Amino acid sequence: MSTTNHSSIIISKGKRTRKLLSNSKTLKTTFLSTHQFFFDMTEKIPWTTLNSGQKMPVLGFGTATMNLPDQDGLVPILLDAIRLGYRNFDTAAIYGTEKHLGLAIKEALRLGIVKSRDELFITSKLWNTDSHPELVLPALRKSLSNLGIEYLDLYLIHWPMSMKPQEASMQIKAEDILPIDIEGVWKAMEDCQKLGLTRSIGVSNFSCKKLSDLLSHSTIPPAVNQVEMNISWNQQKLRDFCDKNSGIKIEAWSPLGASGEVWGSNQVMQNSTLKQIALSKGKTIAQVALRWLYEQNVIIVVKSFNKQRMEENLQIFDWELTQEESDMIAKTPQHKGYDGFNFISPTGTFKSAEELWDGEI
∠ Cα 136 142 148 (to 5°)? 135
Q: What's at 336, amino acid-wise?
A: K
Determine the distance from the C-alpha atom of residue 265 to the mean position of all C-alpha atoms in its chain, rounded to a whole number.
Answer: 20
Determine the distance from the C-alpha atom of residue 333 to the mean position of all C-alpha atoms in its chain, rounded to a whole number.
Answer: 23
Given the residues 86, 95, 151, 294, select the one marked as catalytic: 95
Kindly write down the DSSP assignment for every residue of 249-315, as one continuous string. EEEEESTT--TTSTT--STTTT-HHHHHHHHHHT--HHHHHHHHHHTTT-EEEE----HHHHHHHTT
- Coil vs helix vs strand at 235: coil
Determine the distance from the C-alpha atom of residue 158 to the mean position of all C-alpha atoms in its chain, rounded to a whole number.
Answer: 12
- Coil vs helix vs strand at 14: coil
88 touches 57 (CB < 8 A): yes
Integer Cα distance of 63 and 78 in angstroms: 9
Non-local (6+) Cβ contacts of 23 within 8 A are 6, 7
Q: From 29, 62, 14, select the one nearest 317 (Cα to Cα).
A: 29
Integer Cα distance of 178 and 184 in angstroms: 14
Determine the distance from the C-alpha atom of residue 48 to the mean position of all C-alpha atoms in its chain, rounded to a whole number.
Answer: 12
Q: What's at 97, amino acid-wise?
A: T
For the question of residue 294 being annotated catalytic, the response is: no
Non-local (6+) Cβ contacts of 82 within 8 A are 104, 108, 113, 114, 120
112 touches 146 (CB < 8 A): no
Integer Cα distance of 91 and 61 in angstroms: 9
| Buried/exposed 218-232: b ≥16 CB within 10 Å, e otherwise | bebbbbbbbbbbbbb
Report the 10 Å Cβ neighbour count for 287. 21
- Give me the active site residues, please: 95
